[in-house]
Chains A and B, each alone.
Chain A
Amino acid sequence: MKRIRELLVRTATLFSRRKHGKRLLAEIEDHIAFQTEDNIRAGMPPSEARREALLQFGAVEAMKEAYRDQESILFMENLLRDLKYGVRQLRRSPGFTIVAVLTLALGIGANTALFTVVDAVLLKPLPVREPGQLLLMVWDSANHTMPMAGGYSGSAGSDYSTTGNLEGTSFPHLAFERMRDTQGTFSHVFAFAPSPQLDVIVEGKAHVATGQCVTGDYFQGLGVRAWRGRLLTAADEASGAAPAAVITWEYWQRRLGGEASVIGKNITINNARFTIVGVTPPGFAGALELNQTADITLPLATLPLAFPENPVTGNAGLWWLHIMARLQPGVTREQAQARMDPIFKQSALDAWRASAHKEDAVITAKDYPTLFVNPGAQGDEFARRQYRRPLLLLMGVVGLVLLIACTNTAGLLLARSSARQQEFAMRVALGARRTRLARQLLTECLLLAGIAGIAGSLLAVWGTELLLRWTEWIRGTATLQTGVDTRVLGFAVATTMLTGLLFGIFPALRAARIKLAPNMKLQLGNTGRQRISGGRLLIVAQVAISLVVLMGAGLFLRTLRNLYTVDPGFDRHSIMLFRIKPQAAGYNATTIGPLYDRMLERLSAIPGVESASLSRQPLLSSTHLARSIYVTSGDPNNGEIAEVNIVSPSFFGTMRMPILLGRRLLGSDTSASARAVVVNETFVRKFFPGMNPIGKQFWMGGGGEGTGNPLRKHLDKPPVEQPLQIVGIARDAKYTDLRSRIGPTAYLPYAQFPTLEANFEVRYQDDETAVATAERDTVRQIDPKLPLFDLRTQMEQSNQSMSEERMFANLSSCIGGLALLLASIGLFGMLSYTVRRRTPEIGIRMALGAQRSAVLGMVLRESFVLVAIGVALGIPLALASARAASSVLVDLLFGVQPADAQNLGIATAILLAIALLAGFIPARRAARVDPTIALRYE
């Protein structure tokens, strides 16, 4: 108790120091006065009396010191003093401070920014009630037989594990029904699926929005409350319920002005009338994949209303619904999985039986998929998993930069503390304890780290913005919730503190080992060499790590350059693209042809336009059509996949895609004439090798449309439609993206294969903006109900398809530049310090006749040796890391091997050049040493 009380009182006094100082002075004054009076009374003369009184009192200063010690807490006192001293020290050498703070801030900032993005992409749970209780259903199958038989919509892919199985998160409706109706395991089971883009008309104005459809328990199951109005319930699924729609807060703000009157408003979605009944809270974007947002949420039951031509609900064999659930209390995830798996297997079998192609294959035990009940706190994060490894890779690289930053600062501090040996020795001689000295140094380091931490956090905020712009390939249109939250802040602080301790510990340990005598003497440069051997080690380490980072940057830069130089097989320049959706404006398969004819005619008549064409899919947009090809009718075993695009006859001319043989498509290839097709060279090589393909026929079976790789071989029955006749061969050209190999491709005329969606290509001569305006006007004149969207140039489209690669190239070259900068700062700092220490030695050498060039060479050689050792260690390190990361790199790189020798050579050359540059300034300073001044230097 006594202790605590004393501490409290002392703590209080700490802040009322001045008052107490005064009180003490007053008491001493009183004391002396009393004593003086007494002395006078005892018969001394007044002047003598006071002198005697002072003598009797004793040493006032020592007493004050003792008083102050008693008054305060020594630790706090010292800490404050250390801090003050530290600030003074840092201010005395602003160069060092700026470099050290900048170095660390860059390291910390890059780490925090990346962590923020990784956090948002990989770690952050949905903003719903108890997200930890949510579960996501995932199927796992040795082959695609059952999931793909009746069609599949959603993410599926290799499970990345050793099994090589397929995994996916889309299920047939039947699986959902069976799980929902099973009692005793889940408290909620709900399903949802993204919808195609919605054409929305609000108060006569049209725009497009993203959408999803959900089952009745969706919002209750997630635990989301309405921000305004009400959310969808099971009642909205009942037949006869008025079509209701729920919108997100972001969409409400962006498109509908955030007005409260939105509740109850009637809107038209794909020509059907819906009523907006509620708004979800800000930040809630649904449980879809990160790059899929749903502005508008519709009940599953209204799907035929919004998509009459696409009755997915009627297709029992289609796997398309994402299923999530909440556990009932007392049930574990493992129990749920064990209970649900047989139910799911049965539903999969029943769905397969209901699918159209069941007679083509026999189902065996190995075809049954297995159900996994996975944690679902992040919603459907299936596709997101593929970003886990690239992001972790980047995280690792940025971690390396932080490591460089730390070693750099450690080197700086080491050099500095060497320079301060005399000061320390002096302080020890004056009675400072070694622990105090060490603590002083640690305080300085933490102070430095603290300042750097603040600067780094600011940098992180800016870096996060930059990263988010670069990571659009992950997010698509989604808005990530990336405010600096407590976890990210915690991470930043932890990094800072760790860094501070890390680089504070070396010099502090050394300071505690100071020998007095040699340091008090002013020495002639003989101690310099051995004293900073630690610093040399750090430089070598930095160079080695920088080499690894530089090599990585080189790989990504070359990937990007390779992509830029890829020949797409057509001319990307001076082409404007836009899309229309005539279906939303009421066109059908018979009226669409004349519309396209008229549009192409009017568009190519615009002044400044060379030609205009259309295609079902724009090129390099990651989307494609794929169909199975049968060279002989009726053979179910040849149905290999080819890529298909539906185009206008002018397509080849507009895209400058040369016809190598035969003819292009013509206006005379109409629905009345024989079906004509132009194929590419690869198509010929694959299906008609060594033959003259002109006039050859083939049949087309079923297929799919979408992004990513074509589904493997389909279980299609061979078609009974009429065959297609090859009329021409076009040069090979890239279709989905620049990276993929060119596949066999067939170009079909739109007159024979009506398409309700079209992308227009307009080749213009010079003025892009004028043409864009004219295009809009033209389309409006033809039909004011036709909205024009995705207006962009083909070059923009092409660049967009490289956004992932560009992000990696941008980021890694930033990181590489950072590493290089840090390493050269480190080298520069170390050499400058050496030169300063060795100034007297250099002076003697020069006085004894050494040439300036020899001195220059001496310092340069020193830096070169360090860098050479670093490179020698860095090359095997780089190769080892390339090997370790090769599984990730293979997916990211294009046209360059992870262990590319040329790339490594360039990185080494850059490093050596920068090292020489960093060494040159100190070397020149050394060469300019004036012997007479140098000898008087210390």
Chain B
Amino acid sequence: VTDKTDVQQGTLALMVLKTLDVLGPLHGYGIARRIEQISGDLLAVNQGTLYPVLLKLEQEGAVTSDWGTSENNRRARFYRLTHTGRKRLQFEAGEWRTTTEIIARFFAAKPEDLK
């Protein structure tokens, strides 16, 4: 577990939003699992940090939550993406793409390009 990359707060929020966008309403454990799965187990979500992030997203109005019943009939709190959350996801995903593109270009740069 130790050599997995830790994840930054802002990034985690973005992952949560994307996960909810793709998979629909999910409970906390589900979100944590999916993030680990999608990141190909390269990423260890310190599961505990997830809940403050969820609360923050909820306070910001990006997600809403409610008690519900899980697939194996267990009570759980389900988080759902709101309209605001969806717009925010689009915006931040765009930002992220731009950032990565720029970074990628820098890393792709050869000495002759920089002359």
Chain A residues at the B interface, C-beta cutoff of 8 Å = 2, 5-6, 9-10, 23-24, 26-28, 30-31, 33-35, 37-38, 56-60, 62-63, 66-67, 69-71
Contacts and interface: CB of A to CB of B under 8 A. Distances in A.
Given A10-B59, A67-B52, A67-B55, 14 more contacts: A30-B29, A30-B74, A31-B29, A31-B47, A34-B29, A34-B70, A37-B72, A38-B33, A57-B47, A58-B49, A63-B48, A63-B51, A63-B52, A67-B51
A71 B55 contact: yes
Given A31-B29, A57-B47, A71-B55, A2 B60 contact: yes
22 contacts: A5-B60, A5-B61, A6-B59, A10-B59, A27-B51, A30-B27, A30-B28, A30-B75, A30-B76, A31-B28, A31-B47, A33-B74, A34-B30, A34-B70, A35-B47, A56-B47, A58-B46, A60-B48, A63-B49, A66-B48, A67-B51, A70-B56
A589 B68 CA distance: 108
Contacts, number: 65
A503 B70 CA distance: 60
B86 interface: no
A113 B22 CA distance: 71
Interface of B: 27-30, 32-33, 46-49, 51-52, 55-56, 59-61, 70, 72, 74-77
A28 B61 CA distance: 22
Interface of B is mostly: helix
A23 B29 contact: no
A59 B55 contact: no
Interface of A is mostly: helix
A35 B32 CA distance: 10
B95 to A, nearest CB: 16
Contacts of B70: 34
Nearest to B58: A9
A9 B48 contact: no
Given A6-B60, A31-B28, A70 B55 contact: yes
B48 A59 contact: yes
A59 B51 CA distance: 12
Nearest to A12: B59
A35 B27 CA distance: 12
A27 B56 contact: no
Contacts of A31: 28-29, 32, 47
A709 to B, nearest CB: 78
A58 B60 contact: no
A67 B55 CA distance: 8
A26 B60 contact: no
Q: Which 3 A-B pairs have the closest CB atoms?
A: A63-B48, A34-B29, A58-B48
Contacts of A9: 59
A67 B59 CA distance: 12
A560 to B, nearest CB: 70
Nearest to A37: B72
B73 to A, nearest CB: 11
A66 B52 contact: yes
Given A6-B59, A6-B60, A57 B48 contact: yes
Contacts of A69: 52
Contact of A26 (B56, B59, B77): B77
Most chain B C-beta atoms within 10 Å of own C-beta, residue among A5, A58, A69, A71: A58
A70 B47 contact: no
A27 B52 contact: no
Contacts of A30: 27-29, 74-77
A256 to B, nearest CB: 68
Contacts of B61: 2, 5
Nearest to A30: B76
Most buried by A among B27, B33, B55: B55
A71 to B, nearest CB: 6
A505 B52 CA distance: 37
A58 B30 CA distance: 17
Contacts of A60: 48
B77 A23 contact: yes
Contacts of B60: 2, 5-6
